[in-house]
A and B are shown apart, each in its own frame.
Chain A
Amino acid sequence: MPFSFFSRKKPSRRFNDFYEDWSKTLTENCLPLLRQSLSSAASASVLSSNVDLVLRHLVLYYETLDLAADHNTIPYLLFPSWRNSLETPFLFLGDIHPYLLTNLLRSFIDRENQDSDDEDEETSLDLVNQPLKMTMAWKDPSDELVKRIDQIECTMRLMVPGLMDRMRKTQRSFVARVSESWVSSYQVGKKKKLTATVATASTSVDEAAKIEMEELVSIFVDANRLRKSVIMDIVGATSEHQAALFLEGLCQFLAGFKDQILLQDFEILSLPN
């Protein structure tokens, strides 16, 4: 694939380099921009343009992932070595789990609407530097918003099991194809008193893998489309303040995985018990 880029004289670079830059931008530019916008000093238009900017940055990531995915590269994208060991266990088809997005949104709403006084006190610490319109952003959400979140969640809960099911079927049929050809070539080898023909086996693995990798690309692209559309749908369904808070939370979350101090501690932490 890199050669095809060269032949068209289009410069290309490794996806992990792109990701590193993208992640750095998210932490160093996007997050401060949103925090700045959420401060009382920022105007509504600044808030709006910054929300748009951060949303575009997130969408860019998913679009670039799609561009990088083909039958040769898909394994690297599903199991990215550029993600650290703190985040790899949380990867669902190469990125955050789509449910995380609506769970994050619901948690904001739930936290603001809990009856407990203690909780209110605790959360108020979090938002002490934010203007009242921000702290109250999630208080008593409109019926329309609640309905829209339900719809987004409903669609997602139909899509996610479908993606997992396709992944399972693809892997199982790959193993079945390879097994079938291995068993039959082993039978032939046994009759001719030869050991299983390695060449036949490797050709059949290649052929079966070609079909599987194409399907994995399609699943991966669909998973990214889902993540991207859920983010866009949430931003579309919420007010600008709510959208800014949601994106800030999401960026904080994504940036948190790269926290060097936490990562250093993580490396030496042992399992409980």
Chain B
Amino acid sequence: MPTYRKRPGAYSYGHGIGLLLLDARAPFVPGDVGNASSYDYPVLYKTVPGLTTNACLGGEAGWEDAVVKAARGLEKEGAKGLSSDCGFMIQFQEVVADAVDIPVALSSLLQLPMMARCLDPEATIGILTADDSILTRDMLDRFGLRVPNPIIIRGPQNEPEFNEAIMLAGPQGSPSMTLDSDKIREEVVGTARAMQAEHPEMAAILIECSIMPPYAKAVQEAVDLPCFNFIDVIDYMHAGTRQRAYHGGY
């Protein structure tokens, strides 16, 4: 491919995936969707100004235009696919997919049907979400994620460190401006263990929240089940948009 054309609207090149960010200033630790070192390929971030965690989780109306504008900006920069740093961005999946010509997977929840197909239809799937008072089975159905499997949904929204560091983080940060990843690991693992204690038949866990991939390994070690997280969706989309060459022997 020797001849390259200038892309109108691009300032730099080579970004694999464009990621829309909530306007929330929590520390994004290694493994977080909002941390560039979590990927084996370059990603490009764009914040949706004003779209706070509360606004997104609460399904506040009127954000479509701002989200679409940011998505188009990332497309102009040459991103090969789009995702986001909040599973609840599922609410913008249709409008963004309509607005751009590249593949869009705004939410970790989009892998639910695929997970379901990998399991028995009667196998219970656990969803670890940021806030289980908001995410409901009804919501999943509404967003086109209807599966036959029993679903249980739990979140650490009331655990002290998760609540303080993540749920209360706004555009200016959280009250403490810190995140203790040891404590959050305990809280997230504790939530997963409680799910398993309540539902010993649980067969797999979908980790919805973009803050939680750093703890996915600890969760898996604790419950000994397949666990899928937000990074898995982004890696999957990247794999499809940039195929590898294979150089092995034979």
A binds B: no
Q: Give me the interface of A with B, judged by CB distance under 8 Å.
A: none
Q: Give me the interface of B with A, judged by CB distance under 8 Å.
A: none
